Amino acid sequence: MNKRAPIGIFDSGYGGLTVFEEVQNALPEYDYLYFGDNARAPYGNRSFDVVYEFTLEAVKFLFDQGCPLVVLACNTASAKALRTIQQNDLPKLGQDKRVLGVIRPSTEEIGSLSKSRHVGVLGTSGTVQSQSYLIELKKFAPDIHVSQHACPMWVPLIENEKHHHTAGVQFIEEDVQALLKKDPLIDTIILACTHYPVIKEKIRQIAGKHINVVSQGPIVADKLEQYLRAHPEMDEKLSKNAQREFYSSESSEVFDEKAARFLGYPIQSKHHSF
């Protein structure tokens, strides 16, 4: 197939790159177009209306670029915008297009990961306030006891690379301990923000070896593979030339430098502003 029809991957900033990386490793033959709204990140403390408005703009941009399928690789956007976009906007934007999120795939899996049936969720204030994890987990694993804790400092720390600094580590320690204090029986922590895998090792050290710290990237990649197998009509539309394109609402120089640190290899992005 020659027509450009990449899988769109969206995040407020760099965090979605942790999902992109897992997805492209699992499905390397597909084309991908990543968009990071870095100029307007973080989304975590923004209102429902603003997250919805920004996310819808990003989805429209990715559709305009030819993506038939968009993955919101951002929990905040998945929590605050996905449902409205799916229900109200998709019928107008194109019946044959799809937008998927990261919360449902994660909550479908969590039940199989915890032995104690006590799970901790770490996310942005927006994700925690939306209660999306509690609502979704009730459907897929109703016996699981869920405790949530918001970490509003983590995304700015990671985006500004201050997570190694003493003050940064202190914030991380305080937040992990605050979660574990809410429920000492937690044996599984889900990193419900796509930025957090960057500090996974630190979280693991603080939480202790008995706690399974789970990133969403591999889960989302696995579920996307299953989705494409179950939806050949979508799979047939997607172009498979192994091309990767990156766009950011920040300047390309800034995005490229930081994205390379997230990915471990250099990239060249293009700029898009709204």
* Site residues for ligand DGL per CB under 6 A: 11-13, 15, 41-44, 74-76, 124, 127, 155, 193-195
Q: What's the closest the beta carbon of residue 208 comes to ligand DGL, in angstroms? A: 24
Q: Cα torsion at 10, 262, 164, 125 (round to 10°)? A: 10
Separation CA 54–CA 165 (nearest Å): 31
- What tokens does 10 get? 């969206």
Identity of the residue numbered 93:
L
**CB contact at 8 A, 238 and 68:** yes
Nearer to ligand DGL, 195 or 237 (CB): 195
Q: What's the closest the beta carbon of residue 36 comes to ligand DGL, in angstroms? A: 9
Q: What's the closest the beta carbon of residue 87 comes to ligand DGL, in angstroms? A: 21
Q: Quick check: is 67 catalytic?
A: no
Nearer to ligand DGL, 31 or 37 (CB): 37
**CB contact at 8 A, 244 and 226:** no
Nearer to ligand DGL, 155 or 180 (CB): 155
Which of the residues 193, 198, 219, 259 is marked catalytic? 193
Nearer to ligand DGL, 15 or 68 (CB): 15
Which of the residues 5, 69, 70, 74 is marked catalytic? 74
| H or E segment and range at residue 252 | helix 252-263
Separation CA 156–CA 142 (nearest Å): 33
Separation CA 241–CA 30 (nearest Å): 6
Q: Quick check: is 151 catalytic?
A: no
Which residue do the tokens 């951002």 mark? 74
Phi, psi for 72 (deg, rounded to 5): -80, 95
Q: What's the closest the beta carbon of residue 120 comes to ligand DGL, in angstroms? A: 16
Q: Which active-site residues does the annotation give?
A: 74, 193
